[in-house]
Structure 1
Amino acid sequence: MIGLINTSYTIGAIVAGFFIAGPTADFLGRRWGMWIGCLITVIATFIQTFAPRHQIGAFIAGRVLIGIGQGMALTAGPVYIGEMAPSHIRGYIMAFWQLFYSVGSFIAYWINYACSLHREALGDWDWKMVVIFQMMVPIIIMVLLPFQPESPRWHIQKNGNIEAAKASLRQIRDTEAEVEEEVLGIREAIEYEKEAISHSYSALFKDPSVRKRMYLAFVLNVGQQLSGQGTLNSYSTAIYKKIWTSTQTINLINALNATFGILFTLNAVWTADRFGRRWLFIVGALGMAICMLIVPVVGMTTPDLPNGAKSQPVGIAIVFLLFLFIFFYKPSWGAATWIWTSEVFSMNVRAQAVGMCSQMQNVANTVFQQFFPTFLANEGLKCLFFFMAMNVVLAVFVYFFVPETKQVPLEEIDVLFGGANHVDKGAQMMGQTLPSGAANLGEKGAKE
């Protein structure tokens, strides 16, 4: 039942990511994609919070709806950020996407800890308080979104509205020359995609370079969950119960873990555009593998107390190692996976591809969460050896197959995957004698 409650969310998110989020963000705009997703999340929060007593079906239905809402928002969000950010600081800005994910975990776990201290006084509101706070940030986003400019790339792709695209860029670029140059690059790339490839989602399968990116992004997003983070996030309490008997202590550890997660994610801010995505992936995976090797070794080679728990020094050592795991995960497979996925696809398929690829995280999570409770019950901490092995495999995969994308303009990224230079080709179609300045910058970034 616990596995079903956890996976009901991911099933909703998968449905949204594969079938709803991309078309919504492409047809209505990136802002509307986020706004509608937030609205569904708010409605679903009320369904969960006020589900009739002992009606677990209503609670699970709310979880499915929250998955749909989040699947829509989590598709449009990174696409919007990637399309608005200047190429030379795109990784820097996207790192804050993961940072505020950590802020959300921080708020949730500390609310949970505070409620656990007053469980008797709160009664049912012990858990309802945790659930109802899910709508706080979506409401803030819904209020703020109408005041944000729409993606200039969407304006040109959807309506050919060049003036609206320029108006959006003027709010977030320093000079008129930057605006003109970027708009020209966008127009050239979209012209080529529309005429030479496909203006529809069929390009996901027609263009070999897009297919290659999609398969690589599938592996990276599945790998994010098989690194161990998704499972540790969902089942940290069950794992800590192998070490401690106090629920209050476990809730405090989870809250502290979320607090440190914010600090650890900050590392992506200064590393993503300095050392690159590949460096983060490889260092992060190897660091997580070492942690997943040492934790079960410590757990299996130290004696149990009469109550089945571990001594306090052993418990502290294991918690330190799991915190160290988060130190490696947050800036790498936490942040860099989102950065890489949101920036590698061309405009004609970006929203749909990001929706599908990012939801591969939930596909992996749905499958794994169904059998992990049994895995943990039968094997104890030895199950963490699985994550150690997976992280080594992921590091090798990135080293041999994943190209570096730092500071490459979005319209030029196809070259890295064996595709045509969309800006140059589009410039030729539009009768431009020279490629735009953005194209030249893209070739320089690709070579680097």
Structure 2
Amino acid sequence: MVGLLKLKEDRPTPKAVYNWRVYTCAAIASFASCTIGYDSAFIGGTLALPSFVDEFNFASMDKDTKALLQANIVSLYQAGAFFGSLFAYVTCHFLGRRKSLFVFSAVFVLGAGLMLGASAARGLGLILGGRVLAGFGVGGMSNIVPIYCSELAPPAVRGRIVGIYELGWQLGGLVGFWINYGVNTTMQPSHRQWLIPFAVQLIPGGLLAVGALWLRESPRWLFSKGRHDQAMDNLCWIRNLPRDDVYIVEEVNYIDEDLERYKREVGVGFWKPFAALKQRKVQWRFFLGGMLFFWQNGSGINAINYYSPTVFNSIGITGTNAALLTTGIFGVVKTITTIVWLLCLIDYLGRRKLLLGGAVGGSLCMWFIGAYIKIADTANRPVGSALDGGGIAAIFFFYLWTVFYTPSWNGTPWVLNSEMFDQNTRALGQASAAANNWFWNFIVSRFTPQMFLKMGYGVYFFFASLMILSVVFTYFLVPETKAIPLEHMDRLFAIRPVRKANDDIMEELRLADEEFRHAVEGVDLSERKEKVEMKETV
């Protein structure tokens, strides 16, 4: 157990590096993901509240019209997020990470405020418009926060630091899932009842806007802009070490070498990273980053997040309260497993093992749920009938699916995309990855109601099949990035086969670190390195 929970460091790291400052910066920035998680969780339940249904006259609509309207309310948010994630590349380049966070949080707050003006008299226009604007804000934040966290984090705990972003997502989601149950059980149906879940969006958005004023700018961004003194001040503050500490000297040396190499190979400027897309190695990582989010959304998670009452009704749970309660428990399971993922898995087991194990286990659960719905014919079951043994088993497998999915495909693609690009293409690469996330998110949220109407149990078989295909993709194409410094990702992605790449790089880093430290101390390690190379050859 001690070996399992031992951090894998790329070089000897002072304990001062793992300090409260890096965790606090990540936590404040992750108020952004609280807004995203809350929105993804609350909207499906709020649309199902009797007060919302009555105010906007959903009961008079036929099934297809109602499904289309609900899909539009949900999916306009993803459409706005798609464009926001791309525009964040512009602000990140010119304003940096910190100021960009403030700008997009302000846009989100404006959009969330607009939704509060909707009513039966005014119609749904303000909700639809506010959803687009709020989506634009969270799209930008979903681009910026993982980059910011990864650039601040020491390599050994980078998964954990970026994982705080995912934890914020789940905490926001937990509140979002339960708030609808709370207002539905404690309040009479009214305009105020459904307005409260919309108003709560303002809390994490406002906290982020205020917290962004305290954050320090990313040292790597400052170095890339030639602001060396400020970059050194921020780096030393975050690492809690003096400028002359060997760890700081070595880290700055890595950053400078990486920047110089990209000045030679790519160049510096707003459009230069686009020119870098001509390189096959850059194209490959953009492809991998986008596909990770295709497989993530192909698991079915956002169909469940946005339409959880519909999902539980398909299994056989009837009634608004029962569906909201079951959804709330789903949120609890996700949050608990996210904490375990953050503290005990992502930086110890690594990215590849989690993705592979989560996909296999999650797929098996989906096959069982789909088979039960087919055999039990839950669509034709009398309203109010109790779940049989098979139905209880299906609910169990649904929660088991959550246990497999959450510590694997839920947050790990964000970690991988935050660390797999070089300094000059990191903002553009993350913009591409975030845009892919929101694009596939939009597709799922837009067509899920129609899929359940037309496919029934086949929806679960569809998602189960995609999860199995993701196993093949991950095993052959995705290298392990655990503990690898950001400046060595180019080398990592060049090694074949990918399953051995991490071990090869870690050995190279160990030798390079020993050579660097002995060079600083005036000792030549060339003879020792030759012996190691001769031993490896033998």
* Residue identity opposite 2:405 in structure 1: Y
Shift of 1:236: 1.5
User: How big is each residue's C-alpha offset from its partner over 1:373-401, in whole Å with a ceiling of 9 and x where there is no partner?
Assistant: 12211222231000110000001110011
Q: Distance in 2 between matches of 1:177 and 1:440?
A: 10
The 5 A counterparts of 1:139-158 are 139-158=206-225
Q: Does structure 1 residue 193 correspond to structure 2 residue 267?
A: no
Quick one: distance in 1 between partners of 2:186 and 2:118? 22
Change over 3 Å in CA distance of 1:201–1:118 after alignment to 2: same
The amino acid of 2:278's aligned partner reads K
Q: What residue is the counterpart of 1:263 in the other structure? A: 336
Identify the match of residue 86 of structure 1 among 151, 154, 158.
Answer: 154
| Equivalent in the alignment of 1:273 | 347
Task: Write the letter of the residue equivalent to 2:336.
Answer: L
8 Å CA contact retained: 1:285, 1:328: yes
Candidates 279, 296, 320, aligned match of 1:247: 320
Shift of 1:161: 2.3
Decide which of 365, 371, 374 is 1:300's aligned counterpart. Answer: 374
Q: 1:398 & 1:439 partners in 2: Cα distance?
A: 34
The CA distance in 1 between the partners of 2:79 and 2:226, in whole Å, is: 33
Question: Which residue of structure 2 lines up, in the alignment, with residue 98 of structure 1?
Answer: 166
CA distance in 2, matches of 1:438, 1:302: 64
Counterparts of 1:97 and 1:80, CA distance in 2: 10
Of residues 218, 226, 249, the one that matches 1:180 is 249
1: CA distance, partners of 2:302 / 2:389: 26
Residue 232 (structure 2) pairs with residue 165 (structure 1) = yes
Q: 1:395 aligns with which of 471, 479, 499?
A: 471
Q: Structure 1 length normalisation: TM-score?
A: 0.89
Alignment of 1:28-67 (within 5 A): 28-53=95-120, 54-67=122-135
- Report the alpha carbon displacement of residue 210 of structure 1 after superposing the two structures with TM: 1.4
- For residues 267 and 111 of structure 1, what CA distance do their matches in structure 2 show? 24
The equivalent residue for 1:410 is 486
Range with bigger deviation, 198-207 or 101-110: 198-207
1: CA distance, partners of 2:149 / 2:188 = 43
Residue 11 in 1 paired to residue 79 in 2? yes
Quick check: 1:289–1:391 contact (8 Å CA) kept in 2? yes
Q: Distance in 1 between matches of 2:444 and 2:398?
A: 20
- The 2-side partners of 1:438 and 1:41 are apart by 48
Q: Is the 8 A contact 1:34 1:74 kept in 2?
A: no
Q: Which runs of 5+ in 2 are unaligned?
A: 1-68, 496-510, 518-538
Q: C-alpha separation between the residues in 2 aligned to 1:16 and 1:279?
A: 32
Structure 2 residue corresponding to 1:233, chosen from 302, 305, 309: 305
Aligned residue in 2 for 1:345 = 421
Q: Which residue of 2 aligns with 1:129?
A: 196
For residues 213-228 of structure 1, the aligned pairs below 5 Å read 213-228=285-300
Q: Residue in 2 aligned with 1:319? A: 395
Residues 375, 383 of structure 1: 8 Å contact kept: yes
Q: Quick one: distance in 1 between partners of 2:145 and 2:432?
A: 14
Partner of 1:202: helix, strand, or coil?
helix
Q: Secondary structure at the match of 1:348?
A: coil
Is 1:212 the equivalent of 2:288? no
Aligned partners of 1:328 and 1:222: how far apart in 2?
Answer: 18
Structure 1 gap segments, 5+ residues each: 420-434, 442-448
Map of 2:63 onto structure 1:
none
CA contact (8 A) 1:303 1:310 kept: no
2:362–2:404 contact (8 Å) kept in structure 1: yes
Segments of 4+ moved more than 4 angstroms = 435-441
Question: Contact 2:266 / 2:276 at 8 angstroms: preserved in 1?
Answer: no
Compared with structure 1, are the counterparts of its residues 379 and 145 closer, same or farther at alpha carbon in structure 2 (3 Å cutoff)? same
Amino acid at match of 1:417: F
Normalised by the length of structure 2, the TM-score is 0.75
CA 52–302 in structure 1, closer or farther in 2 if over 3 Å, else same: closer
Which residue of 448, 464, 469 maps to 1:372?
Answer: 448
Kept after mapping to 1: 8 A contact 2:319/2:384:
no
RMSD: 2.1
| Partner SS for 2:168 | helix
Shift of residue 204, structure 1, vs aligned partner: 4.2
Distance in 1 of aligned mates of 2:218 and 2:153: 10
| Deviation digits for residues 175-203 of structure 1 (CA, Å, limit 9, x no counterpart) | 53322221221121112112222322224
CA distance in 2, matches of 1:139, 1:312: 46
- Is 138-147 or 286-295 further displaced after alignment? 138-147
Residues 102 and 262, structure 1, Cα contact 8 Å, conserved in 2:
yes
* Letter aligned with residue 66 of structure 1: A
User: What does the per-residue CA deviation read over 1:132-152, in whole Å, with 9 as the maximum and x for residues that have no partner?
Assistant: 111211211222222222100
Contact 1:162 1:183 in 2 (8 A): no
Matches within 5 A, 1:279-290: 279-290=353-364
* Partner Cα separation in structure 1 for residue 195 and residue 363 of structure 2: 37
Secondary structure at 2:427 match in 1: helix
- Higher-Rg structure is 2
Cα distance in 2, alignment partners of residues 208 and 440 from structure 1? 32
Contact 1:281 / 1:395 at 8 angstroms: preserved in 2?
Answer: yes
CA offset digits 1:158-189 (Å, max 9, x no partner): 23424433433333344533222212211211
> Secondary structure at the residue paired with 1:298?
helix
